[in-house]
Chain A
Amino acid sequence: MIIVNTETVPGREITAFHGLVQGNTIRAKHVGRDIGAALKNLVGGELTAYTELLTEARREAIDRMIAQAEALGANAIVNVRFTTSSVAGGAAELYSYGTAVTVD
């Protein structure tokens, strides 16, 4: 599966469109991460646990999007976009979407 955020796949020709595919995941952070983060609030710097949480969650959303594209018989997803939105109670949604296509 080729995934790009450009409108076409560089060096390839799009032969068919299969429509919009999307994947999302909603994550809640657990208390442990916040305790570790409290110290960083004093001295500043990267919150590695949160970076990992984001990477992991976004990967999950992408995987779900890929699964949808595979079900449609596509071999690439173009024009991929990401958004996040916060749901009540400190949970956040990571959402990715794009257009499933067939390239030669």
Chain B
Amino acid sequence: MVELLVSLLVTVGLVVVGFGVGRARERRHLAELDRREAASPVVVVDVKSPPPGVDAAAGTLVMGEVVIAADYFKSFAAMFRNILGGEVKTYQSMLNRARREAKLRMADQAQAVGADLVVNVRFEWSDVGPRMPSAEIFCYGTAIVSPRS
């Protein structure tokens, strides 16, 4: 009985810590993403080639990747969702964050080579990460360097 109570308390404790700290960290990350996205001068599109009228002198592959882990609360909530069915909102926001982060890292790489446009962008999922709820996102595309730069 005591053992059960202890394990229950530990689980509740972990969920509370995960919820509190995890949510604060997620908020900070989202605010950072908003700021960086607004500041990034690079246009990212997934059409196959630069639109007519864009002066393209050279192209080069750029990529960004990120592995993000879920906090304890997210995993716990998802576990319940698994029983009840329906949308797993906690993972939805995690995957979105990972995609935005990977895309930004790719855009930063494009900016570093003097490009202001990335075409043919693709998102990939990979499974190299740890055996825990996490999102592993890889984003790549071709950075277009215009002749004047």
User: Chain A residues in contact with chain B, CB under 8 A?
Assistant: 2-12, 27, 29, 33-34, 37-38, 40-47, 50-51, 53-55, 57-58, 80-84, 86, 90, 92, 94
User: Chain B residues in contact with chain A, CB under 8 A?
Assistant: 14, 17-18, 21-22, 25-26, 29, 48-50, 55-61, 63, 65-72, 74-75, 94, 101, 119-120, 122, 124-134, 136, 138, 140-142, 144, 147
Can you name the residue of chain A whose Cβ is closest to the Cβ of B132?
A41
A44 touches B69 (CB 8 A): yes
B71 touches A43 (CB 8 A): yes
Could you write out 24 A-B pairs with CB less than 8 Å apart?
A4-B61, A4-B120, A5-B142, A6-B49, A8-B49, A10-B142, A11-B56, A27-B128, A29-B128, A33-B130, A34-B130, A34-B131, A37-B130, A41-B132, A42-B14, A42-B18, A42-B71, A45-B25, A47-B67, A47-B130, A50-B130, A81-B122, A84-B125, A92-B126
A43 touches B18 (CB 8 A): yes
B58 to chain A, nearest CB (A): 6
A40 to chain B, nearest CB (A): 4
